[in-house]
Structure 1
Amino acid sequence: MNRRDFLKRTAVGVAATGFMALPEDIWAASTVRLTILHTNDMHSRIDPFPNDGRTNGGLGGMARRATLISQIRQQEPSVLLLDSGDIFQGTPFFNFFGGELEYKLMTQMRYDAATFGNHDFDNGLAGLQRQLPNAGFPFLSANYDFSKTILKDCFQPYKVFEKQGIKVGIFGLGIELAGLVDKKNYEATVYLDPVQRAADMVKQLRENEKCNLLICLSHLGYKYENAKIDDRKLAQQVPGIDLILGGHTHTFMEAPEKINHSNGHETIINQVGWAGINLGRIDFNFSKKNKQKINVAAVVLPVGQPVISS
């Protein structure tokens, strides 16, 4: 999708929400567009899936994703590129290089931040520590306490980015590792309640950091039928998060889900499958005058197209 088509889609969203339609030049002069690009559960998929008749044949590939991201950056001045975990494990690239290639390529693509998935512990804390120098972006983790491990003081719970005067607070949440990851791989890492930690982050980022937009990078999973915490339950229980970018369940969402709170706040949840097949794009428009969010538009961008054989 080019910028003109995306602007048309955004204009439809504005009209539907009751905002006055403005000529494009006046609209652009009075608003700031923030573009969020996101991935999850890449699972060491460096190359596209082989186009041999299999499911997802011809899709994905980090070189293709890098090209798509570069094109969007040329069109949009304010872009954040984020990942929601499980970067590691799934192809021989991980078995041979232990995550080095994944981190180096993500650094070349200029990822701004990521969080951890359970498979990012597959080579243990020492394996993770070994690869961190290859990552030119921060890992954010608000509910893993590494203070009694070799990764003490390596990570922050959140980071604040500023784009054209809009302050964006981003924090990370990980899934409970016990029962999912071998104890020897996470050692003395302590899992903290994600609901409480999310509430702490909302308070910190809203009240102290004065952020205009709050994003949670989550590897909790989109939806479970049991009581296990997931993105939907998190959104319902913690008002104040604007956007939850999920992972773990490999959910291909055609459109984001919106959770509305009694105080009028809206939380958007999105996830784009797995293996880098899709790149998620969510555009927020803010008023330049008061920094208030005006509207949002979202689209799923396939990375590559399958070749249909005759």
Structure 2
Amino acid sequence: DHANGADHVGLDVDPVSGTGTVGAYDRIAAYINYVRATTRHPVVLVDSGDWTMGTIYDLTLGDLPLALLFMDFMHYDAVTLGNHEFDYTPRGLARILLAARHTFGFHTPIVASNMNLGGNTDLAPLVGAGNLIDTSRVVGLNGVRVGFIGLMGEAAAIDAAASAPVSFFKLSTHYADIQSLVDTLHDTQGADIVIVLSHSGTDAAGTRGEDVELARHVHGIDLIASGHTHTPLASVHAVTNGTWTTQIIDAGAYGTNVSRIDLTFKPSTRTTTVNAFSNVPMTDAGLAAVSPGLVRYEVMSRIVRFTDQQLNLSLGPFFSTTFPDYSSPSLGTGIYHPVAAAAQDMVSNGANVVPSPNGLGDLAADAERNVPNAIIAATLAGVGGNPANLPTYDFTPFQLGVVATGILRGKLRSGVPISFADVYDVLPLGITPDSSQALPVGYPMISLYLDLADLKKVAALQLVAQTNLVAPDFYLNLSGIQYSLNSDGANAYFKYATAAAVLQVTSSKATAGSAAAMQAMNALATLGSDSGAALLTAYAAGNPYAGAMVKLNDARHRAR
């Protein structure tokens, strides 16, 4: 029996009652305890990365990291590293792990099989056989030996921009190395079952993506606990590789679900079969559906409340100047202090089919512009309204605010007061270069001067994301400017954008094995030597990919 946690587990709190409606450590703990108490065979508990970042509890990472305390408290068998574990750089990650070890003896095994330290000396003391971070791990459970490896996917490695000099080998070019790891677990270390904790992911259907390709290319993996793409799977997905079948599960993100898969191991064939699967929502109703009377685990609730109190106290200097009614014992006057209300739910536009301006993105961009402008105005008033009284200060107001969709994490719900914690959760990511901070929390605000040509490029970058040529994370939410397109330029842009999209789709289909798509790509490759003859021939024969390419050419090209 295997349970898979979720990216960015946190406490989703209603500031009125202090009770979350979805997720939360205490619900997850209650479900895990229930499974362990009612299952008559061994239970394995794992997490596939990104167990930091995304909530106000990131402020505990420097002394009493709640996420790590939870994993230790719930006795996780193994976890792997996600890209967000490196948001504070390798040095920051080492500090977090050492703080957890010093404070409460953190010892949850971390497997990171494709990680290369690249000479980094901060993590080095924590890596290696018998250490906190290892390449693999094998545990014995009632006579069955379970082996674990942990992988950082290629897309996730790109997102781990602050990990340098630590790097991760590309899965698609190192399947042989991963196969060797799996073979060693089976043949040398005696693993009966091999589980891959993969921070790579699949598409929403679970039929494409890095983890699907991993299962297709590496033989001997029983289960892939998938992460990173925030795509909860409603069913287990089987991938066949010759005579071997690998199962893929994904709980999703933000602690909203916990995946459970029940497997039977057959010693005679050394294979596993699936008996049952569920992806249980971590809500009060979800727990009750599992078993009437199953409620949040009170011990974990008390730990969370203690953490809340500590945060409320440590942020006191800020709260006392922000909220007139602040009192350190009262959470509702500090971290859960109501600050606003929303007429409708405000969520990231990254979930839209086509990213476009929306309330949360616009609000974040407006805040990025208006807050520093308010500081400038207050500073000017403080010197009598005369900039000459403070000649070293730049009183020029900011005219443009820019926030990328990829760093919008939280959501602001209608119907309940929005708390300080809710607002914090909207933009919780990143690291600052301010070395005076004990914990370098938060991306820095960067200011610069742009000329008209630069502004046009910013607007063009927004369009590139809006036409789905790049991931929604790169969509730019803008505040303070308005732009329009001239007709000739718009026609040319959307034509080329469509051509790029056609090439993306055709290339993807060719890689997936489509003969028609491969024919179209090969014909396109000869365009310079045959003036499009092969492409036109494929089009005439009814090849849809070649047809799309031909129709995107100018009339004079089609006439050839």
**TM-score range relative to shorter protein:** 0.7 to 0.9
SS at match of 1:251: coil
Tell me if 1:254 matches 2:234: yes
How many angstroms does 1:87 deviate by? 0.8
Q: 111, 136, 139: which is aligned to 1:158? A: 136
The alpha-carbon distance between structure 1 residues 198 and 50, as it changes in their structure 2 partners (threshold 3 A), is farther
Q: Deviations over 1:131-188 (max 9, x none)?
A: 2242320110110112511212522111001111111111000024664233xx3121
Correspondence for 1:175: 153
Higher strand share: 1
Q: Equivalents in 2 of 1:44, 1:97: separation in Å?
A: 14
The alpha-carbon distance between structure 1 residues 174 and 288, as it changes in their structure 2 partners (threshold 3 A), is closer
Correspondence for 1:186: 163
Q: Deviations over 1:264-304 (max 9, x none)?
A: x1100110110111111111123578865354321112212
Between 1:162-171 and 1:186-195, the stretch displaced more is 186-195
Correspondence for 1:106: 71
The alpha-carbon distance between structure 1 residues 116 and 178, as it changes in their structure 2 partners (threshold 3 A), is closer
Correspondence for 1:67: 30
Q: Equivalents in 2 of 1:291, 1:68: separation in Å?
A: 30
Q: Equivalents in 1 of 2:238, 2:159: separation in Å?
A: 29
Correspondence for 1:270: 249
Correspondence for 2:276: 297
Q: Deviations over 1:87-142 (max 9, x none)?
A: 11111111453581110111111111100110111111122111224232011011
Correspondence for 1:8: none
For 1:178-257, list aligned pairs within 5 A.
Answer: 179-182=158-161, 185-194=162-171, 195-223=175-203, 230-257=210-237
Between 1:172-181 and 1:196-205, the stretch displaced more is 172-181
Q: Equivalents in 2 of 1:122, 1:222: separation in Å?
A: 23
Taking structure 2 as the reference length, the TM-score comes to: 0.44
The alpha-carbon distance between structure 1 residues 166 and 96, as it changes in their structure 2 partners (threshold 3 A), is closer
8 Å CA contact 1:231–1:244 kept in 2: the answer is: yes
Correspondence for 2:345: none
Q: Deviations over 1:195-219 (max 9, x none)?
A: 2332121111121122211100000
Q: Equivalents in 1 of 2:266, 2:242: separation in Å?
A: 24
Q: 146, 162, 174: which is aligned to 2:117? A: 146
Of all paired residues, the percent bearing the same amino acid is 29
Q: 81, 89, 96: which is aligned to 2:45? A: 81
Correspondence for 1:90: 54
8 Å CA contact 1:44–1:94 kept in 2: the answer is: no
How many angstroms does 1:48 deviate by? 3.1
How many angstroms does 1:44 deviate by? 4.7
The alpha-carbon distance between structure 1 residues 164 and 289, as it changes in their structure 2 partners (threshold 3 A), is farther
Where relative contact order (Cα < 8 A, 6+ residues apart) is larger, the structure is 1
Correspondence for 1:10: none
Higher helix share: 2
SS at match of 2:139: strand
8 Å CA contact 1:223–1:231 kept in 2: the answer is: no
Q: Equivalents in 2 of 1:112, 1:178: separation in Å?
A: 24
Counterpart amino acid of residue 86 in structure 1: D
Q: Deviations over 1:45-94 (max 9, x none)?
A: 1x235399xxxx71110011111111111122411110000111111111
The number of equivalent residue pairs is 263
SS at match of 1:279: strand
8 Å CA contact 2:83–2:157 kept in 1: the answer is: no
Counterpart amino acid of residue 21 in structure 2: G
Correspondence for 2:87: 122
Taking structure 1 as the reference length, the TM-score comes to: 0.77
Alignment gaps of 5+ in structure 2: 101-105, 128-132, 287-414, 416-560
8 Å CA contact 1:58–1:306 kept in 2: the answer is: no
8 Å CA contact 2:9–2:255 kept in 1: the answer is: no
Counterpart amino acid of residue 65 in structure 2: E
Counterpart amino acid of residue 142 in structure 2: Q
Alignment gaps of 5+ in structure 1: 1-34
The alpha-carbon distance between structure 1 residues 291 and 180, as it changes in their structure 2 partners (threshold 3 A), is closer
Between 1:215-224 and 1:268-277, the stretch displaced more is 215-224
Q: Equivalents in 2 of 1:160, 1:270: separation in Å?
A: 20
Q: Equivalents in 2 of 1:61, 1:44: separation in Å?
A: 7
The alpha-carbon distance between structure 1 residues 210 and 97, as it changes in their structure 2 partners (threshold 3 A), is closer
8 Å CA contact 2:233–2:249 kept in 1: the answer is: yes
8 Å CA contact 2:115–2:169 kept in 1: the answer is: yes
> Stretches of 4+ moved more than 4 A in 1?
287-292
Please provide the CA RMSD for this pair.
2.7
